[in-house]
Structure 1
């Protein structure tokens, strides 16, 4: 389900589905977005705090659904990532949200909501920057093109081809630490026939190894059309060196799969985060050690 295109003057709502955020970052990002021709409404819940969380599960779910039902709010931007967006999924009325499709933007911990929207409603959403980082985000034009009806390319010149091939399918995925919990907890095999994209940060390689093995044993890898690995930012290591590299891990857990697999795609928690529209049909090519990822359709309607 495509979402309506954004237009100059549209109001974008902000709420915090995960950890708490600093008001100064939200104000800087609001000023930036307003300088690009949009209006910004920051929901009061955005500044709530309960320990590390941005308020209670109830406060978060009411804020998100309240913004969703407002006709004057044309898109919703997650204020930040962190933790505990998974906890609000059971409280969301996806049927009501499907009746008013609108762009939802975020990444990291927000992976849970992006994929839940697709699994429950097939609605397109945008794996892109959280709002608090928007004032220092360098790929805004690429994201804005997606939101306004264009089909910009994702630069893949530095990608590493692990397994050659070609694939067509909708994009699903996001943060590996969060995505690993979604198969068999969201309705249907929403990942089946999809191009799965994964990134992560601040974790140990041994834990990534377990996460990939978990997805493999769930049958996720054998049911997807292709796999795109982004940046695994600031990998940690404590104790005895693990020895296996991320490339070793990816190769081991995708061995024997007849699908294209590429690494080093330009998205993640580091300096580069190109937006991947969840639910949009795309074409992945990995031939002659050259990779490309192109959208097969626009993300929006009414552009």
Structure 2
């Protein structure tokens, strides 16, 4: 098992771009993050033209957002690209992007939520990317913010998480992939879709109706995405909603039902997603997952 190509690590003075790939954002919402990156990572921060712009709910129309992303991808002096926030819109522009120069000079692409679409597409090209807090959410949790650093600066990354009563024990090894459940279902059948076989999948979501969580799990299952996983990591599913008639299961129970027939290890309550705790996970990197009665251990293997 071989990890996908890893972008170069960051060094002092490297240029990092913060872009608005999806929904609009107020520049004031990322000012503390910019100051943190400059002071603690000693990198040079540039912001895209659309940080602070607006086109209805988007940071700009599709063509403008795509052009902003394209410019940063093509700029060999830019060593990492952070999406300022998620929201909605990255899947609308992904087919407009030419990744030819990115393939020659890969760089870290960082974000979560709606940016799941970008992560999946980057993996389809054979490269790693980083599912992690974005500048808008940087200051919510120091541990999550610090979890970005091992990946950007080439250090070992390992997580230990308390046991959950619903966990299914076992050991697994495979490339890590995943992200927002809604986006993963949305990408099925698209050019950004990837094969989940023998991979460690992580999923999370926020603000959905419970019946829709079920529908998305059905979609993954019917598409063959759950059958041959090496392991499953279930992150936070918060701010979920009920119809007038209760669905009858919570999110974890829904997920457990759809993977009950398989034998791979499953862990629940992993700190990834839209909750305060949102640890960085390298998509496309090999890792070892151990789930036992004591807890959960996820160790990323050096690329």
What band does the TM-score fall into relative to the shorter chain? Answer: over 0.9
Q: Quick check: 1:127 aligned with 2:159? A: no
Contact 1:17 1:84 in 2 (8 A): yes
1:92 CA displacement: 1.3
Q: Quick check: 1:280 aligned with 2:285? A: yes
| Bigger Cα displacement from structure 2, 226-235 vs 179-188 | 179-188
Distance 1:188 1:87, change over 3 A: closer
| Bigger Cα displacement from structure 2, 90-99 vs 165-174 | 90-99
User: Secondary structure at 2:65's aligned position in 1?
Assistant: helix
Match of 2:83 in 1: 78
Matched ranges for 1:13-92 at <5 A: 13-36=17-40, 37-92=42-97
CA RMSD of aligned residues (A): 1.6
Match of 1:102 in 2: 107
User: How does the TM-score come out when normalised to structure 2?
Assistant: 0.93
Distance 1:99 1:269, change over 3 A: same
Match of 2:11 in 1: 7
How many correspondences in the alignment? 297
Structure 2: stretches of 5+ with no match in the other structure: none
User: Secondary structure at 1:258's aligned position in 2?
Assistant: coil
Q: Deviations over 1:257-281 (max 9, x none)?
A: 1211111001111110000110000
User: How does the TM-score come out when normalised to structure 1?
Assistant: 0.93
1:159 CA displacement: 4.2
In structure 2, distance between residues paired with 1:161 and 1:11: 44
Distance 1:224 1:184, change over 3 A: farther
1:136 CA displacement: 3.6
1:189 CA displacement: 4.1
1:72 CA displacement: 1.9
Structure 1: stretches of 5+ with no match in the other structure: 299-303
1:44 CA displacement: 0.9
Q: Which runs of 4+ in 1 moved over 6 A?
A: none
Distance 1:234 1:166, change over 3 A: same
